[in-house]
Amino acid sequence: MQWMVDTVNSMANGFTMCTGSYGVRADNDLVDMIKQFGPRIYFTHLRSTLREENPKTFHEAAHLHGDVDMYEVVKAIVEEEHRRKAEGKEDLIPMRPDHGHQMLDDLKKKTNPAIPRLVA
């Protein structure tokens, strides 16, 4: 992320904070990354992953049962939104959870959709 900021130092050069992509590396401190690059985070993709013994191998995990501390990540994003609001900015950071729990007829399917069935 720092390399991208250094290469094109423009607020138009921002990030999607994908907690799954960044979270698979144990050396990525997601909360610190949000605090450091918060002004350039324009979207958050909430995914949780679980690292396996091989450091290059992982799998999707339930949001609250993986290696990502989802509570602290969401808290840091909300704090960044509050910081922006205090500066008079109106831009929020949209969040989209993904790869959540299977439910209803999802349990009988052989596929694992990115977004499980939603019922009103």
Tell whether pTM > 0.85.
Answer: no
In a domain, 38, yes or no: yes
In a domain, 115, yes or no: no
Task: Provide the domain limits for residue 90.
Answer: 2-108
Give tens-digit pLDDT for 17-45: 999 899 999 999 999 999 999 999 999 99
> What Å distances lie between residue 116 and 15, 33, 83, 98, CA to CA?
25, 28, 33, 8
pLDDT exceeds cutoff 90 at 111: no
In a domain, 65, yes or no: yes
Let me know how long the chain is: 120
| Of 25-34, 46-55, 84-93, the least confident | 46-55
pLDDT band of 9, cuts 50, 70, 90: very high
- Residue 48 near residue 61 (C-beta atoms within 8 A): yes
Q: How many domains does the chain have?
A: 1
**Interatomic CA distance for residues 36 and 2, integer angstroms:** 9
Mean pLDDT on 4-18: 94
Residue with more model confidence, 46 or 99: 46
pLDDT band of 2, cuts 50, 70, 90: very high
In a domain, 51, yes or no: yes
Sign of CA dihedral 97, 103, 106, 107: positive
102-103-108 Cα angle (round to 5) = 85
In a domain, 98, yes or no: yes
pLDDT at 100: 59
In a domain, 17, yes or no: yes
Q: Is 51 helix (H, G, I), strand (E, B) or coil?
A: strand
In a domain, 117, yes or no: no
The DSSP letter of residue 41 is E
In a domain, 71, yes or no: yes
